[in-house]
Amino acid sequence: MPVSFNHTIIGAHDPALSADFYLAVLGARPAPSWGPFINIQLDDDTLLQFAPAPVNDPIHMAFLMNDDEFDRGYNALRTLAVQHWDPQMTRPGEISTDEGKRVYFKDPSGHLLEMLTQAYL
């Protein structure tokens, strides 16, 4: 079996709020939850598990998607009035279109997220 990424635990001030945010923006789907975790699943079956935890050191995660999914997610950001920036974080309210589409934004717990349509490598 090849190595693949299976799951990660994401600390959240409010796990249910964070899970709902990722469901809306990323178009993920709900997954069975257990213990302290609120779980959602990405299209490639990667499991994101949200757990109650203080967020002292926010993390960065980037989500690769096609143009249609990016547009749907970007529209969700705008509908939810989520502050967002180009990747250099110098132009609020804008995306970059230099190499595919890219946008940076924060989740409800302050983690820095990125949506992109073209992989870096």
pLDDT tens, residue by residue, 67-96: 999 999 999 999 999 999 998 999 999 999
- Please, which residues bridge with residue 60 across strands? 112
pLDDT of 42 above 90: yes
pLDDT tens digits along 51-67: 999 999 999 999 999 99
Q: What percent of the chain has pLDDT over 90?
A: 96
Query: How high is the pLDDT of residue 1?
Result: 86
Query: Which ranges in the chain belong to alpha helices (H)?
Result: 15-26, 67-79
Residues across the chain: 121
Query: How high is the pLDDT of residue 31?
Result: 98
